[in-house]
Amino acid sequence: MSLLIALIGLVFAGRLILKNYNPQAVLFLTGIAMMAIAIFTNNAVFVEKSTGWVGFDIFEYIRNTFSNRAGGLGLKIMLIGGFAMFMSAIGASQVMVKVAAKPLMKLNSPYLMLAMAFILGQALSLFISSATGLGLLLMATLYPVLIRLGCSKAAVAAVLASTCAIEFGPGSGNSILAAQTAGIDITEFFINEQLPVISILIVAVAAIHALVQRYFDRRQNHAEQSAPLQNEEQETETKDEAPLYYLLLPMLPLFFMLTFSKMGVGTIKVGMATAILLSIFIGLVCEYARHKQAKPVFEKLQGIFNDMGKVFATVVTLIIAGQTFAMGLKSIGAIDALLHMASSAGFTASVIVLFMAVLTFSISALMGSGNAAFFSFAPMVPQIAEKIGTNVADMILPIQLSAGFGRTISPIAGVIIAVAGISGLSPFDIVRRTLIPMLSGWLIMLVITFTRSGQIMQLLPFLAGIIALIAVITVLIKKRAQQQIAREA
């Protein structure tokens, strides 16, 4: 019965989100409904200290979640968002991208340049965490250069749109939530868990991207002609360009976190929030030295606070809504029932992790967002890991990385739509070229992560099933995109 209720809840929530209902409202509503049902079916308890009536305890749980998340994980994500937008507003991100892109101009092979552009974009995603923001920056700087050097429009757009597909590092909201869920400091999670996987993964996906774009270009006889950016607001030069040393500013948070940690100066420890606050202060000082006026600098500080509020409204509330939805699934006993069923069927821990990774990848592809899917499933991982006797970090990493890959094959993802608009292409044209690299990268990621945990041999029988599921996802994505385009038309 609990699994049936959970399935109904998942279908109900998924259908409303696919119809463009607000995801926070949908997750809150579905989670509260399942928690209410759990009161009668499981005598569920939601908080340690009850209000006196279990009906009010549901909303006391949501209040506690708001309180805990807003001051901890939520604060980090809000600071990251505010800092990233501040770096873009003062021109530091633009300078960093321009300087980093200069070595690409010396390469002679167009497809080698595309592979290097992907690697460069993934490296920059450490400091520019927004997929859409980074995509727009690269379109304004790298796109015209790569076109002039002989790359096709569609190939460049596909590569630049997928530069945040592999989400890693302290600047990623999904990475922060994954580290906190695993009970690991974000710096340690980045160095010990993510780097060994993504260092191989980025190079592999870059090579696959180059081969795939070369295949499509030959198939289409490289018919695309070089064209200027259609968005006139995107300029490669600005009237008040930031000074060269500003390229160091986006790197400051990572510098402070790595330098003042167990891996650097062990006697001093600087956490993420402190590192970002320090970096904001240094950035404001640089702005005052640059403009010699205090009032505009103070206004930029207020702008940071305003941007933090926007991040709270869009990202932090989604985390809290996802946790409420997860509590609904947990309270009705769906997780225990699923684990019992998996155990009875002889499924191992690796199969359960694979199932959750596939689910996250699929939902992210259908919704065009990696956050909603991962934020909904991440809170369930520690309980599942405890039940099946596996490490939380090993379990959550493939699930976290699946979200970014899934988003990048969705024609309704924000970054795909933005890049398509600037390049003058259809989102379908871009997704057609990102599909193979992203699916290949996702499968390679699963192989690497499960090989590291020693569970790869147990998953070989499921590969055929994954390939079949990929075919189904592709059909659903195409149908979903056609509905979206028809609705907008």
Per residue in 78-111, pLDDT (tens digit) is 888 888 889 888 988 888 888 877 777 677 778 8
| Domain spans of the chain, in order of start | 2-488
Query: pLDDT (tens digit, 9 = 90+) per residue, 377-436?
Result: 788 888 788 777 778 888 899 999 999 998 898 887 878 888 888 888 888 889 889 988
SS3 (DSSP) at 322: helix
Map residue 224 onto helix, strand or coil: coil
Q: Return the ∠ at Cα 45 (arms to 39 and 46), rounded to 5°.
A: 105
Q: So what's the pLDDT on residue 461?
A: 59
Spans of the chain below 50 pLDDT: 223-239
Quote the DSSP letter at residue 192: I
Instruction: Report the pLDDT value the prediction gives residue 234, as an integer from 0 to 100.
Output: 42
